[in-house]
């Protein structure tokens, strides 16, 4: 209950911020940070809870973005419908990929998910309707009241999506599904021998994770007024979605949120103050530091600090 | 002979060109204490993997409580009443000992956590693990890990317990402790298949013993007759 009151307050605050006089650039940057919260939270459901490392984030993200573009091009569908379609597309891809690859373990699963990214990218490059390799310019519709600009509206929409994503991840973590996924991560054979329907649980995780990633991708074309395959299926999304939970902590739903805020904000700052190339380096350096020095992430560090100070 | 709980007939399994099991058949009665022995690589673990469902047998039938189970996934067989421990303990390392037992209580018996915890604590008490309930499974000693394997299997309330080398690598008094636990479980009506290398333990425990060699049953009988059997001596000691 406390969680949902907090979530409601956060959504109201985001709405108030979006109609306030804050500088436009803030929303432009914050949108990206919040997108990473959704991606990292989604990634953690399969990668953190179940221990299945997924490098396919761009495939799910991109499938959501392209689903939105197709609906927008064909029917002029409103944003809500685009997001619903992106979610459905991501979830469907999650199911397909899950059925085909979830029997693979460890590194083999990870490699298979990388392949999915290239398959999706190649498909889109060769599809003229959505602009092929050169991409497609999109004419944004009128922004809806009470928002003054599209970036402000998208900021609010993305915040609501992030809250929903975190709520879903939290539900999974604390429900019967969460314990089963942890059992899978610790020992899949033992989980199966103790009555856990491992394949079914992994599929649930993959579908939910893929659906959320698809949802995160759906507003992207409207945000940029443009879509093209190379940047939509960029492996930077895969690294970011994976690095944020690693940095924040994978065991708890709060981990990916903290990690995404720290990482993506830092990247935004570096992009503006130093260069766009340097921001990729930031991810690499932070990821290595955390994997080596704090494998349980910021949450793990915090827990250790709590323990040592209570002694 | 009492009612048959498990009937294995003509079960075979190959790994590439290697024949792990070549038409193994055996019946196990309700409430029996059954010993399975054989030299390394003779197919003991493959056989119980086929029974518990981690592997699928290529031919033959496995019938448990009058139900053909060869086509079922492992978790479904556990739900029917077949539980097992692993030769190399496979605890859920990021969970506490108590939580380890809540996995089968939730997924097999569909108990709420509060009910599951009560049952789990009883099991842990009976195995002498009660004071470790809140400890992370990754911090247990070898003998505690073996006991956890059995405790977790028991939390599924099985009819058949398969104990895969639960005593390997334990000291003499620890072997006695684990044996004691298995005897108690059997006294409660649970049928037990024991796979073991420690001869003195299998011989003390089992009412009936089967010896596997190269994927075939080479002899079957009472513990005393097995020890005397020339084929068994040959399989273990070489000709």
Measured at the CA of A72, the angle between CA A68 and CA A74, to 5 degrees, comes to 120
Q: Check B103 against A193: CB less than 8 A apart.
A: no
Q: Across the interface, do A193 and B94 touch by the CB < 8 Å criterion?
A: no
pLDDT at A273: 87
Query: Where is pLDDT greater, at A227 or A24?
Result: A227
Say whether residue A140 is in contact with chain B using an 8 A CB cutoff. Answer: no
> Chain A contacts of B116, Cβ < 8 Å?
none
Hey, what are B37's tokens? 């022995």
User: For the segment B121-135, what is each residue's pLDDT rounded down to a tens digit?
Assistant: 999 999 889 999 999
- Give the other-Cβ count within 10 Å of A9's Cβ: 10
Is there a contact between B75 and A196 if contact means CB atoms under 8 Å apart?
Answer: yes
Order of all β-strands in the sheet with B59-64: B18-29, B4-15, B59-64, B67-68
Q: Range with the lowest mean pLDDT among A101-105, A135-139, A284-288, B135-139? A: A101-105
Report which secondary-structure segment, H or E, holds B218.
strand B216-221
Confidence of residue A27 (pLDDT cuts 50, 70, 90): very high
User: pLDDT tens, position by position, for chain B (239 residues)?
Assistant: 568 999 999 999 999 989 999 999 999 999 999 999 998 889 999 999 999 999 999 999 999 999 999 999 999 999 999 999 998 999 999 999 999 999 999 999 999 999 999 999 999 999 889 999 999 999 999 999 999 999 999 999 999 999 998 888 888 888 998 999 999 999 999 999 999 888 889 999 999 999 999 999 999 999 989 888 888 888 887 75
Q: Give A255 to chain B, closest Cα distance, Å.
A: 16
Query: What are the pLDDT digits (tens) for A284-306?
Result: 889 999 989 888 899 988 888 88
3-class secondary-structure state, position A59: helix
Can you tell me which residue has the tokens 């699928």? Answer: B56
Determine whether the interchain pair B94/A191 forms a contact, defined as Cβ–Cβ distance below 8 Å.
no
The answer to whether B151 and B124 are in contact (CB under 8 A) is: yes
Q: Which of A176, A186, A193 sits opposite B78 (nearest CB)?
A: A193
**Secondary structure class of B30 (helix, strand, coil):** coil
Spell out a b/e string for A80-97, using b for 16 or more CB atoms within 10 Å of the CB, else e.
eebbbbbbbbbbbbbbeb
CATH code at position B80? 3.40.50.300
Q: What is the mean pLDDT of residues A243-247?
A: 94
Based on the structure, what is the number of domains in chain B? 1
**Which residues of chain A have a CB within 8 Å of the CB of B53?**
192
Residues A148-189: pLDDT tens digits? 889 999 999 999 999 999 999 999 999 989 999 999 999 999
Looking at the complex, report in whole angstroms how far the Cα of residue B107 sits from the nearest Cα belonging to chain A: 5
Q: What is the spatial distance between Cα A212 and Cα B223, in angstroms, rounded to a whole number?
A: 60
Q: Do A186 and B92 touch (CB under 8 A)?
A: yes
Give the mean model confidence (pLDDT) for residues A112-137: 93
Choose the closest CB to B94 out of A182, A192, A197. Answer: A182
Among A166, A66, A186, A52, CA closest to A126: A66
φ/ψ region of A255 (left if φ > 0, alpha if ψ in -120 to 50, else beta) reads alpha
Does A185 reach chain B within 8 Å, measured CB to CB? yes
Kindly state the tokens that stand for B3. 């009612």
Can you tell me the distance from the alpha carbon of A178 to that of A67, in angstroms, rounded to the nearest whole number? 30
Mutate to test the interface with B, among A193, A198, A249 (most CBs of B within 10 A): A193
Do the Cβ atoms of B90 and A176 come within 8 Å? no
Chain A: give the shortest CA distance to residue B97, in Å. 13
Residue B195 contacts residue B188 (beta carbons within 8 Å): no
> Does A191 contact B156 at a Cβ distance shorter than 8 Å?
no
DSSP element (H, E) containing B84: strand B82-85
CB A59 within 8 A of CB A175: no
Give the nearest partner residue to B75 out of A179, A187, A195, using CB atoms: A195
Of the partner residues B92, B99, B102, the one whose CB lies closest to the CB of residue A190: B92
pTM of the entire predicted model: 0.91
CB B36 within 8 A of CB B201: no
B79, B90, B94 member nearest A195 (Cβ): B79
Q: Residue A188 has what pLDDT? A: 93
Question: Are residues B74 and A251, on separate chains, in Cβ contact within 8 Å?
Answer: no
| Residue from A105, A194, A200 to probe the interface with B (highest B Cβ count within 10 Å) | A194
Q: Are A33 and A260 spatial neighbours (Cβ–Cβ below 8 Å)?
A: yes
Read off the pLDDT of residues A8-26 as tens digits, 9 standing for 90 and up: 999 999 998 988 888 889 9
Q: What is the pLDDT of residue A132?
A: 87
Write down all domains in chain A, each with its CATH number in brackets: 2-310 (1.10.3470)
Contact check, Cβ <8 Å, A195/B92: no
CB contact under 8 A, A194 and B94: no
Q: Does A180 touch chain B (CB under 8 A)?
A: yes
Expressed as residue numbers, the domain containing B138 is: 4-237
């Amino acid at each position: 209950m406390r969680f949902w009151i907090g979530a409601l307050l956060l959504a109201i605050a985001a709405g108030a911020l979006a109609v306030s006089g804050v500088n436009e650039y803030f929303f432009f940057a914050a949108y990206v940070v919040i997108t990473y919260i959704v991606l990292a939270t989604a990634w953690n459901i399969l990668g953190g809870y179940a221990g299945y490392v997924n490098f396919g984030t761009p495939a799910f993200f991109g499938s959501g973005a392209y689903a939105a573009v197709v609906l927008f091009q064909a029917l002029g569908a409103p944003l809500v419908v685009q997001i619903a379609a992106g979610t459905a597309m991501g979830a469907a891809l999650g199911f397909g990929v899950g059925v085909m690859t979830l029997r693979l373990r460890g590194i083999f699963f990870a490699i298979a998910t990388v392949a999915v990214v290239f398959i999706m990218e190649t498909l889109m490059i060769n599809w003229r309707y959505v602009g092929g390799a050169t991409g497609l310019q999109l004419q944004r519709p009128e922004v809806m009241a009470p928002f003054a600009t599209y970036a402000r509206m998208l900021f609010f929409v993305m915040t609501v999506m992030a809250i929903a994503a975190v709520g879903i991840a939290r539900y999974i973590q604390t429900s019967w599904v969460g314990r089963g996924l942890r059992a899978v991560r610790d020992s899949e054979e033992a989980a199966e021998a103790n009555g856990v329907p491992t394949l079914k649980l992994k599929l649930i995780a993959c579908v939910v994770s893929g659906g959320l990633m698809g949802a995160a991708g759906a507003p992207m074309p409207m945000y940029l007024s443009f879509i093209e395959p190379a940047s939509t299926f960029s492996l930077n999304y895969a690294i970011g979605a994976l690095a944020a939970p690693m940095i924040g902590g994978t065991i708890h739903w709060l981990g990916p949120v903290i990690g995404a805020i720290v990482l993506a904000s830092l990247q935004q700052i570096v992009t503006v103050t130093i260069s766009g190339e340097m921001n990729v380096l930031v991810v690499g350096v932070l990821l290595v530091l955390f994997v080596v020095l704090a494998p349980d992430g910021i949450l793990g560090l915090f827990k250790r600090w709590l323990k040592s100070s209570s002694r | 002979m009492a009612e048959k709980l498990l009937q294995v007939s003509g079960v075979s399994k190959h790994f590439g060109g290697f024949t792990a099991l070549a038409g193994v058949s055996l019946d196990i009665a309700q409430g029996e204490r059954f010993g399975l022995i054989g030299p390394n690589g003779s197919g003991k673990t493959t056989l119980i993997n086929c029974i518990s469902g981690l592997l699928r047998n290529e031919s033959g039938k496995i019938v448990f409580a009058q139900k053909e189970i060869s086509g079922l996934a492992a978790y479904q067989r556990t739900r029917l009443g077949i539980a097992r421990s692993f030769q190399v303990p496979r605890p859920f390392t990021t969970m506490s000992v108590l939580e380890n037992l809540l996995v089968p209580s939730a997924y097999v018996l569909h108990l709420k956590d509060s009910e599951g915890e009560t049952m789990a604590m009883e099991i842990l008490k009976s195995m002498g693990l009660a004071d470790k309930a809140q400890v992370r499974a990754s911090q247990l000693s070898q003998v505690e890990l073996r006991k956890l394997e059995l405790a977790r299997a028991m939390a599924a309330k099985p009819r058949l317990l398969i104990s895969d080398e639960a005593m390997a690598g334990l000291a003499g008094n620890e072997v006695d402790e684990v044996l004691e636990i298995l005897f108690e479980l059997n006294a409660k009506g649970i049928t037990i298949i024991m796979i073991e290398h420690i001869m003195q333990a299998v011989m003390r425990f089992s009412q009936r013993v089967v010896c596997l060699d190269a994927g075939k049953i080479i002899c079957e009988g009472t513990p005393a007759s097995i020890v005397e059997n020339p084929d068994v001596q040959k399989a273990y000691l070489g000709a």
